[in-house]
Structure 1
Amino acid sequence: MPESLTRAIRWDTVVGALLIVLLLFSFGFVDGFGNALNLSFFLGNTLPIALIALPMTLLVVSGEIDLSVASTAGLSGAVMGKLWNDGMAIETIIPICLLLGVVCGLVNGLLVTRLGLPSLAVTIGTLAAYRGIAQIVLGSNAVTDFPTQYLDFAAGRFGDSFLPQAFLPFLVLLAIAVVVLHATPFGRSLFAIGASEEAARFAGIRVKRAKLLLFTVTGVMASLTGVFWALHYASARYDNATGLELSVVAAVLLGGIDFDGGKGTLGGAVAGVFLLGALQNVMSLLNVSAQSQIVVTGVLLVISVLGPRVARQIAIARAAGSPG
């Protein structure tokens, strides 16, 4: 089968094409989509998904998953609000929140790598635990009086453009993640671990250490997202980012990252993130209810699991049917 045809039916290529089609349709037929304010909302609201999707992609490539990311973000926001109310400087609070993310990620990672527990079960448990701790820390209070310069950075734009100020740091993090996954021995080892953990171990790859590092980085990024969420929406609450894990997992899998590990590209994952974000934005502009949007996200999650498998089966069938 020609290489161009193989590339054309790769799932991440399909998702990228769908993103372009959706954007063209939205600019042409959805009122208000193309104005600078809405585009800024679209990018700003997608950033929390995108930030966590970066380490989540690496984690899923290695054959693991972290469903506690939204609760870690909520706990980070709750601690941030509590410490701010207690009079601590924001410059001190943010590093403390990131350190909290390290702890949350380490707990997940140690339970998975040292006790051999499945990450799906572990992170469902810590999802509930971290959210409960967040409620204990802050209760039902909402903290909104953060410093103006931080609120402006998290929610502001560059002049009259549509580009959020916080988008540039994301691009830096994206570039780092792309290099790590696709251009370093560590990234190649993650694909090997996801394809066959036993074979990777025999090849000399330190599987447990790599996974522990990934869980820790995911915790840090989830905590950073919690800080960004509280500043972007000018509100720190214990239930911040509730349900965000569904959007992150749906976006990553939609981008062609194989749930079983070992396959996928970060470009596909990012395309999945912004496809989901654009779809949510369009549905909001069309006055689709929040409940219906959740249903659509769930359907996309199912499609994202089935789609790459169907695409691979088509590729295999074409290869088998092609002459010598």
Structure 2
Amino acid sequence: MTVEPVQQKVAPEPAAATRLIDKVFRARELAVIAVLVVMLGATQLSNPEFLSQQGIKDLMLNATILVLVAVGQAMVVITRNVDLSVGSVLGISAFAAGVYLQDGGNPLVAITLATALGVLFGLLNGALVSLGKVPSLVVTLGTLYIIRGIDSIWVGSRQITASDLPDSFVDFGHDGIFVVPYLALLTLAILAVVAYYLRSYRSGRDMYALGSSPEAAQLAGIPIRTRIMTAYMVSGALAGLAGALYLSRFGNVDSNTGNGYELMVVSAVVVGGVAFTGGSGSVYGAALGAVLLTSINSVLPALGVSSVWVTAINGLLLLLAIAVDRILALRVAAALRKKAAQTRSDRRG
């Protein structure tokens, strides 16, 4: 008879903790939106042509590829892992799609081929991390160089240009509805699907539980290996798809395509409020981080600032985001400890 009252008192605690953490990270996302609005507004005041119809379209096009890869990366980081191979996967997938199209292939098949290639590499990363129990940083750093090496040997000095590709494929990378490019619409659809999956399906929520506490997730019976492999396969698939869309957007692929992209993706995810320690954040935040970083690349030249500052600013934002994450984590932990102490005191009373 004494079990029921105890359950009623204990149950609200996790719900309160979840609400507190969600509120904190929603505030992070709102802060990124505020910075983005202020930055774009200030640039528009300095350069009235910046937010012209073509300017808005260019901002969206510049962000789509990074947003797409950041969404997949966010899923991996939420599980307390990382995927440093996304840049290499993007590069080799783009070239594979280009070679196929160069031989007269169908654009839809080319996109499917690039995505499937990404899934294959994601499966490899997921297997090594989950089954081999090797730290994800080590695994994906290794596969980064392996895939990049294969890509360099395969591509060699060759280069695929827009003239080698079907006009319909190249047009898809530039056209759209009014100022909204087709690439942006596709990216938004994928973003919404992944966000819905993480919030509405048990397997998606399991990834947050796994990132929050792998030990507790294991005790709760969550299939840890399956969830990690799923996250890596989605990350690989989106990196492969991004490779095909990169080819459509820029119409140019060589052995250097995707070089250094992984660091920008990780920066976008962390700046967007996805905690590098796992278990917190959202793919919407990762997308906002990607939009912020790509907008900086457009804003600086519009203000007459040298583009050499872009890398330094991205690094500064990454360090700032990590510092904010640490401060917020300490405050949330202190608030939860205080709430737990208050609950124990109420029980004794």
CA shift, 1:314, in A, is: 5.4
**What's the offset of the Cα at 1:199?**
0.9
Match of 2:251 in 1: 234
Q: Does the residue aligned with 2:181 lie in a helix, a strand or coil?
A: coil
Please, which of 170, 176, 191 is the counterpart of residue 151 of structure 1?
170
Q: Name the amino acid aligned to 1:156.
A: D
Verify: 1:70 aligned to 2:87, yes or no.
Answer: yes
Q: Where does residue 126 of structure 2 map in the other structure?
A: 109
Question: Structure 1 residues 14 and 177, CA, compared in 2 at 3 Å: closer, same or farther?
Answer: same
Structure-2 residue corresponding to 1:60: 77
Partner of 1:94: 111
The equivalent of 2:66 in structure 1 is 49
Deviation at 1:51, TM superposition (A): 0.3
Q: Which amino acid counterpart does residue 160 of structure 2 have in structure 1?
A: V
Distance 2:59 2:280 in 1: 29
Q: Identify if the C-alpha distance between structure 1 residues 315 and 196 changes in structure 2 by more than 3 Å, giving closer, same or farther.
A: closer
Asked whether the 8 Å contact 1:229–1:240 carries over to 2, the reply is: no
- Match 1:305 to one of 301, 322, 325: 322
- How far did 1:320 drift? 9.4
Cα distance in 2, alignment partners of residues 69 and 97 from structure 1: 13
CA deviations 1:58-78 (Å, max 9, x no partner) are 111110110110110000112
Q: What TM-score, normalized by structure 2, do the two folds share?
A: 0.84
Query: Equivalent residues in 2 for 1:12-27 (5 A)?
Result: 12-27=29-44
Q: Please tell me the root mean square deviation across aligned C-alpha atoms, in Å.
A: 2.6
The whole-number CA distance in structure 1 between the counterparts of 2:335 and 2:205 is 28
Question: Which amino acid in the other structure matches residue 193 of structure 2?
Answer: I
Q: Which of residues 270, 288, 291 in structure 2 aligns to 1:253?
A: 270
Larger CA Rg, structure 1 vs 2 = 2
Of 52, 75, 97, which aligns to 1:35? 52
Unmatched 5+ stretches in structure 1: none
Task: Give the deviation of 1:317 after TM superposition.
Answer: 7.1
**What does residue 291 of structure 1 align with?**
308
Supply the distance in 1 between the matched residues of 2:319 and 2:189 (Cα, whole angstroms): 31
Deviation of 1:190 (Å): 0.8
Partner deviation per Cα, 1:255-288 (whole Å, 9 max, x = no partner): 1111010111233222212121222210132343
Offset from partner CA, 1:2-40 (integer Å, 9 cap, x none): x99x94783233223222222322333334321111211
8 Å CA contact 1:142, 1:236 repeated in 2: yes
Greater Cα shift, 110-119 or 241-250: 241-250
In structure 2, how many angstroms separate the alpha carbons of the residues matched to 1:189 and 1:237?
A: 39
1: CA distance between counterparts of 2:297 and 2:335? Answer: 35
Letter in 2 for 1:149: S
Give the TM-score normalised by structure 1: 0.90
String of CA shifts for 1:291-315, please: whole Å, max 9, x gaps.
Answer: 3211211111111211222244456
Aligned to 2:142: 125
Tell me if structure 1 keeps the 8 A contact 2:65–2:246. yes
> Would the aligned equivalents of 1:108 and 1:215 in 2 still touch at CA under 8 Å?
yes
Does 1:205 find its partner at 2:222? yes
The residue number in structure 1 matching 2:346 is none
SS of the aligned residue for 1:301 comes to helix
Question: Structure 2, unaligned stretches of length 5 or more?
Answer: 1-18, 343-349
Secondary structure of 1:12's match? helix
The match for 1:177 is 194
Inter-partner Cα distance in structure 2 for 1:193 and 1:270: 22
Query: Are the equivalent residues in 1 in contact too, given 2:126–2:233 (CA < 8 A)?
Result: yes
Q: State the identity %.
A: 31
1:204 deviates by 1.0
The one-letter amino acid of 1:67's match is: L
Indicate if the aligned counterparts of 1:81 and 1:138 stay in contact, CA closer than 8 A.
no
Distance in structure 1 (CA, Å) of the matches to 2:40 and 2:337: 36
Work out whether 1:190 is the aligned partner of 2:212: no
Shift in Å at residue 241 of structure 1? Answer: 2.2
Q: Offset at 1:319? A: 9.0
Deviation at 1:96, TM superposition (A): 2.1
Q: Contact conserved, 1:229 with 1:241, CA < 8 A, in 2?
A: no
Return the alpha-carbon distance in structure 2 between the equivalents of residues 321 and 100 of structure 1.
49
Q: How far, CA to CA, are the matches of 1:312 and 1:97 in structure 2?
A: 38
